[in-house]
Amino acid sequence: MSNTTSDKPPIGVIGAGWVGLVTATCFAELGHEVVVREIVQDKVDVLSRGDLTIHEPDLPELLRKNLDHMTFTTDMGELLDRTRLMFVCVDTPPTYSGDADLSRVQTVVSEVGDSTEHALIMKSTVPVGTGSAIRRDKHDLAYVSCPEFLKEGTAVADFMHPDRVVIGADNRAEFPGSWAGDAVEAIYRPLGGEMVRTDIASAEMIKLASNAFLATKISFINEIANVCEEVGADVTEVAKGMGLDERIGSKFLHAGIGYGGSCFPKDVTALKQLAGNSGYHFQLLNAVIEVNELQKRRVIGKLKKHLGDNLVGKKIALLGLSFKPHTDDMREASSLVLSSRLRGEGAEVSAFDPVASERAAELLPGVMIKDNPLAALEGADAAVIVTEWPEFAELDLAAVRSTMATPLIIDGRNLLDGAAVAAAGFVYEGVGRPALGGDAEPTAVAASAAAE
Ligand code: UGA
């Protein structure tokens, strides 16, 4: 074991992906010595120098600040020698069947061997039943399910101020590994979130059910938005009015062009599969997934409404490519589906993203990626706001107007002030809001708002 000078126990982290890096760096910030095991030597070298391979606000500063008590290594033996509490943060990507691929988790479990001195704390999102399957083989393994609820882009703040910390563990006094749940609670206690102590399967389910519920909320408001477009209501007003009911809450009621990222699409499908594999048909989740897929494509209909049915040769500029702002993560980003659909329609697609351009270039063949918004908008027949980067709300509308061929903005995230955009000479169409400007026929709601 390590001779840390701190009274806090040393912590091991397995996997230096996004979850692992945030977890490791934040534990180091809390004063723990942290040993990170990562199998890719290049990543170990880069991180050991204090450099990061992902874009996450506040993380670079925190990493450099705490580098003196963080070790990055490819050697699992070093982790086992120096730490008892080992947080598993390896990825669990979906397989062709929609189930989670647990091969990396299984490798870690086999590497720990029959040690009863160590605890494996599962941060990776795994199907319900994974913990009990692991413990069927290793009866004495101290195993804790401690799912993570961090959001990309605000992960450091989320870690430091958790709403709750879920700790699923076997606490029976006769179980040799029963110490682990308390040990995990002790290291999270300084952060002040509510501690949810429960069994392993329930902790695993809390994670999947939370993500599935949030995704359901988004698909729900997206469907309300689509109906608003038909009946002349404004979804932003509707969401505000709904969200004031404490039972509903205002968060995750932003209509848009669909959820993406590495978690919601994967976890909703994983929960649907898990239910199906155990004989239950989770109907609601089928609808959540389908609504989300269709939502990404609705932009095409809006473009055709204004530019005509034939998009061949039309120049469409995409503003924002990452699945949400403040990250360069392109996984399951709506831009992927949208740009392929546009290319399929024969459109010429240009794009700009403040941080995801490099990653996007590999994933979006045929899309002309530009290094500033105006360059992407030059000669465009329409601009589509795909990701709500705050800087797009600051664009000089006069400059945008003079560089575009047709003044049409489709705001896929309801980022802009539609009235101001229309006043600057554009046709503006958001999601679930009345179209404004140009020949757009104002709906009853828009007309009454304008009259006030
Ligand atoms: C999500 C959860 O919010 C985290 O609690 C969880 O830890 C994480 O997944 C995970 O399982 O690892 P994340 O994927 O980083 O976090 O991003 P969110 O901020 O939740 O956004 C997900 C997607 O939903 C984005 O595409 C976003 O644009 C979309 N969204 C979000 C909406 O379309 N409307 C909303 O109102 C909120």
The answer to whether 87 and 32 are in contact (CB under 8 A) is: no
Two tokens at 209?
Answer: 């059910």
291: which residues sit within 8 A by CB, 6+ positions away? Answer: 219, 222, 223
95 against 29, higher pLDDT: 29
pLDDT exceeds 80 at position 5: no
Q: What distance in Å separates the CA atoms of residue 59 and residue 22, rounded to the nearest whole number?
A: 7
pLDDT tens readout for residues 130-150: 998 888 888 888 999 999 999
322 against 451, higher pLDDT: 322
Q: What distance in Å separates the CA atoms of residue 229 and residue 235, rounded to the nearest whole number?
A: 8
pLDDT exceeds 70 at position 1: no
Count CB atoms within 10 A of the CB of residue 181.
Answer: 25
pLDDT exceeds 80 at position 3: no
Ligand 1 centre to CA of 318 (Å) is 21
Query: 409 - beta bridge partners?
Result: 383, 428
Highest mean pLDDT (candidates 98-112, 120-134, 236-250): 236-250
pLDDT tens readout for residues 394-446: 999 999 999 999 999 999 999 999 999 999 999 999 999 999 997 654 444 44
Residue-level pLDDT at 439: 61
Residue-level pLDDT at 6: 64
With tokens 């996997």, the residue in question is: 15
pLDDT tens readout for residues 358-380: 899 999 989 999 999 999 999 99
Instruction: State the sign of the Cα–Cα–Cα–Cα dihedral 263, 238, 305, 376.
Output: negative
pLDDT tens readout for residues 30-45: 999 999 999 999 999 9
What is the average pLDDT across 91-99? 83
217: which residues sit within 8 A by CB, 6+ positions away? Answer: 252, 253
Cβ neighbourhood burial of 171 (10 Å; 0-12, 13-18, 19+):
middle
**Nearest atom of ligand 1 to the alpha carbon of 251:** 36
**In Å, what is the CA distance from 221 to each residue of 7, 100, 117, 263, 342?**
48, 28, 48, 19, 25
pLDDT exceeds 60 at position 238: yes
Confidence class for position 114, pLDDT limits 50, 70, 90: confident
Q: Residues lining ligand 1, judged by CB closer than 6 Å?
A: 125, 148-152, 211, 214, 218, 252-254, 256, 259-261, 263-264, 267, 323-324
Residue-level pLDDT at 440: 52
Whether 89 is catalytic is no
Q: What distance in Å separates the CA atoms of residue 448 and residue 246, rounded to the nearest whole number?
A: 29
Catalytic residue selected from 26, 89, 228, 263: 263
Instruction: Determine which of 10-19, 321-330, 437-446 has the lowest per-residue pLDDT on average.
Output: 437-446
Structural domains of the chain sorted by starting position, each given as residue range(s) with its CATH number in brackets? 11-198 (3.40.50.720), 199-452 (3.40.50.720)
**In Å, what is the CA distance from 253 to each residue of 44, 82, 285, 291?**
39, 45, 17, 15
Query: 358 - beta bridge partners?
Result: none
Residue-level pLDDT at 53: 80
Residue-level pLDDT at 445: 42
Confidence class for position 449, pLDDT limits 50, 70, 90: very low
pLDDT tens readout for residues 292-303: 999 999 999 999
List alpha helices for 325-433, DSSP H: 334-344, 357-363, 373-377, 397-403, 418-423
Residue-level pLDDT at 113: 82
**Nearest atom of ligand 1 to the alpha carbon of 254:** 36
Mean pLDDT of the chain: 93
